[in-house]
Structure 1
Amino acid sequence: MTSAAKTETQSEPAAHAASGERAGLQRKMETRHLMMIALGGVIGTGLFLSSGYTIHQAGPIGTILAYAVGALNVYMVMLCLGELATAMPQTGSFHVYAGRFIGPGTGFTVAIIYFLAWMGALGSEFTASGLIMQKWFPGTPAWAWSALFIVLIFTLNALSVRSFAEAEFWFAGIKVVSIIAFIAIGLLAIVGVIPIAGYSHAPGLTNLVKDGVFPNGFAPVFSTMSTVAFAFSGTELLGVTAGETKDPGENIPKAIHTTFWRLAIFFIGSIVVMSALIPWQDAGVDKSPFVLVFDAIGLPFAGDIMNFVVLTAILSAANSGLYASTRMLWSLSNERMIPRIFVRTTKHGVPLIALCTAMIGGLLALLSSVTAASVIYLALVSSAGLAIVIVWVVLAVCEIRFRLEMKREGRDVNELSFRTPAWPIVPIVALFLSVGTIVLSAVYESMRPSLIYMLVIIAICYAVYGVKTFIARRRNA
């Protein structure tokens, strides 16, 4: 018997998940889809819009250091996820792992906070898409454009998992091409092949250290690390897709390795280009650093080009968010933690009831952004990034517990088709960095509300699970 088969037969919920996937969800995603889903989940407005602010706070070298540590953290978490997902390829995987290796209450809580994080993101993405379209069509209402994109994203997810994956492939492709073009044009400007405003010679890399290695001191590097960690959120989508991936034992590890190197090149490469061509004091104060560079080079319609790229990033996030929140509901239902109605699928393998519920949740988040922005919406959006980091903590703990269980059972790790290298160093360092990110949220006042909101949501989730379990036991008695 294979390792994956052994693992799935060891717990009743896992058996339910496996049988449910064979009956409903379909394995339609290929390697190219996984790579672009992982890239698309990470490359978003955090890079295109907020990276300039990070440079302004931490300086060029400090920002590069923060992004390098963030990339390392993400890679280690992905290695942990890769081992678990290839051994137990299940939709909504990390909450299933948490339920088995930590406790069912934690599994329930992780699924709910992840669902709420993406639900809040849906509301913000649909709002932002309408506002961007207003820049091109100032006489039109933003809500009309938001409604149009809501219909588009819902349709892509409702047709089949392959239509979602294909759309995400092309959304992510546009972002990747934009970043490659930005880095290539920027490098040509750095070496003097392309003239740039404000320089009579090749700028080189002097701007990186012109005002010292850490012009604002080393403390801002720590304060931006938590922001950078949130900017890398989205790679965990690979775990959500595991149950709908063709040959996960081969495709997931391949996607993990290639995604890391591309993310490192794209993020750090972009930061180097921005920092070399724009003085760090001016980066990201008024507009996107991408636009600042393109304007300085003289690229026509730089603002419109970046608005299109940002709109693509927004639609990509909405597409992924609806998929992720839908599969969380499906997985919770498949694990019998919520009513079984959400596990039903169409003939194309789409859990339509779960999809409609997730979309309604996104619409409620969109409504709350107008009617209760100071309470409900702020809690959802501000705690969204922290929810992802909590998922990273859970994944590192689950991977450690998984290996320890194998050792107790006398099983050989060579049974695994993919193994986390340098065990247990990798999961321990991933756990340390992820917990450190959460601690930074408590230390810095600007991020403290996010942590408070998240702790309240977690407490409510555990309380709901406790009441649910108590009622179930009373009924059985």
Structure 2
Amino acid sequence: MSPQLAGAVDSVTTEPPQMERGIKNRHLQLIAIGGSIGTGLFMGSGELIKNAGPGIVLVYLAIGLFVFLIMRMLGELLLSNLHYKTFGDVAKHQVGPWAGFFVSWNYWFSWVVACIADIIAITGYVKFFNADVPVWIPALISCLVLTGLNLLPVKWFGEAEFWFAIIKIVAILGLIAVGIYLVITGFTNPDGVQAKVSNLWEYGGFLPMGISGLLLGFQMGIFSFIGVELVGTAAAETENPRKTLPKAINSIVVRILIFYIGALLVIMMVTPWVDIDPETSPFVSTLSLAGFGIAAAVINLVVLTSAASSANSGLYSDTRMLFALAHDGHAPKRMGDLAENGIPRKAVLFTCAFLFLSIPVLLAGDSVIQGFIFVSSICATLVLFTWGMICVSFICYLRKHPEKHANSGFKTPIAAVAPWLVLAFFVFIAVLLVSAEGTRMAFLCAPIWFVVLTVLWQLRKRTLEKEGRPITGMIPTVAHPLDLEDGEQ
């Protein structure tokens, strides 16, 4: 038997060290909600409202529909084989070893970029309380705190995200309730502007900037949804993924309608879109303009916490991806080590080291929002590839395993056309990114990253072949211990 074949057989029968399944059902449900309420909603929606006016809700509806289809595909794929730990595993098993390498490293890099954007957002929120604070101080503190949180056992991550999500939910629902009350009572702010439903169309119509303004909203809109796929990564450390994962994914539609559409409509009813400052969070500025200074400060604290939660979740997902890469032979072996508390400590420290790049980004920019938009544009470009590969993996899955799809207890709606619809939508987004002046440079930088990945893959593959090792870890196809007794796959 050749060394390659021997290694492959061994990898089928033995799995890498297992991380603790310490995430409970309540954790996963709230991680799903928290992941779908991204920093882009709090920080970037002001810029989107400036570009598209009230019509921005149509952008979120469109993106939300396609994100739901992506998550249904991911859910079916993960539940088809509980040995999958990440969608990098799905890609390498369904598409090929190169796909696993590209998806995993691209996802790792995109979340490093997203975490930097979150830290930039945190800095902006801190300056609400004290504009004289040097930008590097809150950035440095954020990096250190996030590193510490990710070195804790996974059950504490689940607990922290549970409460972070509770804070987000209560704050947004509270804002919606207050906004509805202001509209019903006809509240007039200190500038003499009355809260009313007709504010949605009285200032130039529902689409004041026309279709062109609407199209400009898609870039930041995509960034707002980054993190929704975290529920798929967390499922690998969940006690009962077959029960909890479908429930978490199916609730995405309701969350989008309430937390995105509902919140933004209320904000623009209370404060006409023309009065919303794109440099600040509309959640904060709306209450400030309405004369609720203390409430605005509380909301600002909440959105600061939300940004920290987003970065914390991203780091969690990133370190698990790096852990899986190490056991595939695609990252340094020491990144696959587990500490006594079941945490891939070295992967955490390596990933967190890149967060400190947020400091020079902040120091180089003219404003916090400029830095945030540039970094988030890069991230939006990278995530299109990750989500696109989920679609490609699903297409391969349908062709290779039609019987698994037929017997799945969590079938993707319109499965035959869903991945193609999403991929066509991504081509549309890519055209918009390269057409808009504000996002063109970030989009055009992406091919450089994929050239680097191509070179690294060729070098790594040759090294593994020379050493007589398999070019990737194998995915077991035997029943997982957590499979249902009836043998549902």
SS at the partner of 1:159?
coil
Larger mean Cα displacement after TM superposition, 436-445 or 201-210: 201-210
| Aligned equivalent of 2:392, options 381, 388, 397 | 397
Per-residue deviation, 1:414: 4.2
Aligned to 2:412: 420
Per-residue deviation, 1:330: 0.3
Residue 158 of structure 2 is aligned to residue 175 of structure 1: no
Aligned to 1:339: 332
Provide TM-score, normalisation by structure 2.
Answer: 0.85
| Aligned equivalent of 2:433, options 426, 441, 447 | 441
Provide TM-score, normalisation by structure 1.
Answer: 0.87
Aligned to 2:96: 103
**Aligned partners of 1:49 and 1:284 also within 8 Å:** no
Residues in 1 aligned to 2:334 and 2:131: alpha-carbon distance in whole angstroms: 43
Per-residue deviation, 1:160: 0.7
Residue 453 of structure 2 is aligned to residue 461 of structure 1: yes
Cα deviations across residues 319-372 of structure 1 (Å, max 9, x unaligned)? 112212211110101222223222221232211111111112323x23553688
Aligned to 1:220: 213
User: Which amino acid letter does the alignment assign opposite residue 306 of structure 2?
Assistant: A
Paired residues, number: 459
| Aligned equivalent of 1:251, options 219, 238, 244 | 244
Residues in 1 aligned to 2:404 and 2:38: alpha-carbon distance in whole angstroms: 40
* CA 1:14–1:155: 2 relative to 1, 3 Å: farther
Residue 299 of structure 2 is aligned to residue 306 of structure 1: yes
**Aligned partners of 1:116 and 1:380 also within 8 Å:** no
**Aligned partners of 1:17 and 1:335 also within 8 Å:** no
Per-residue deviation, 1:464: 0.9
Residues in 2 aligned to 1:348 and 1:13: alpha-carbon distance in whole angstroms: 30
* CA 1:344–1:372: 2 relative to 1, 3 Å: farther
Residues in 1 aligned to 2:27 and 2:431: alpha-carbon distance in whole angstroms: 34
Residues in 2 aligned to 1:371 and 1:308: alpha-carbon distance in whole angstroms: 23
For 1:21-420, list aligned pairs within 5 A. 23-60=17-54, 62-89=55-82, 93-130=86-123, 132-133=125-126, 136=129, 143-192=136-185, 194-197=187-190, 203-208=196-201, 211-363=204-356, 365-366=357-358, 368-369=360-361, 382-407=377-402, 411-420=403-412
**Aligned partners of 1:91 and 1:244 also within 8 Å:** no
**Aligned partners of 1:346 and 1:352 also within 8 Å:** yes
SS at the partner of 1:50?
helix
Residues in 2 aligned to 1:280 and 1:130: alpha-carbon distance in whole angstroms: 25
Per-residue deviation, 1:242: 2.3
Larger mean Cα displacement after TM superposition, 382-391 or 181-190: 382-391
**Aligned partners of 1:56 and 1:283 also within 8 Å:** yes
* CA 1:149–1:372: 2 relative to 1, 3 Å: closer
Residues in 2 aligned to 1:200 and 1:361: alpha-carbon distance in whole angstroms: 45
Unaligned runs of 5+ in 2: 1-6, 470-489
Per-residue deviation, 1:135: 5.1
Residues in 2 aligned to 1:353 and 1:270: alpha-carbon distance in whole angstroms: 40
**Aligned partners of 2:78 and 2:90 also within 8 Å:** no
Per-residue deviation, 1:133: 3.9
* CA 1:142–1:277: 2 relative to 1, 3 Å: closer
**Aligned partners of 1:94 and 1:395 also within 8 Å:** yes
**Aligned partners of 2:106 and 2:386 also within 8 Å:** no
**Aligned partners of 2:167 and 2:302 also within 8 Å:** yes
Larger mean Cα displacement after TM superposition, 163-172 or 295-304: 295-304
Unaligned runs of 5+ in 1: 1-10
**Aligned partners of 2:49 and 2:278 also within 8 Å:** no
Per-residue deviation, 1:233: 1.2
Aligned to 1:19: 15
SS at the partner of 1:421?
coil
Residues in 1 aligned to 2:47 and 2:123: alpha-carbon distance in whole angstroms: 24
**Aligned partners of 1:25 and 1:350 also within 8 Å:** yes
Per-residue deviation, 1:465: 0.3
The percentage of aligned residue pairs carrying the same residue is 29
Residues in 2 aligned to 1:279 and 1:145: alpha-carbon distance in whole angstroms: 32
Per-residue deviation, 1:394: 0.8
* CA 1:14–1:255: 2 relative to 1, 3 Å: farther
SS at the partner of 1:392?
helix
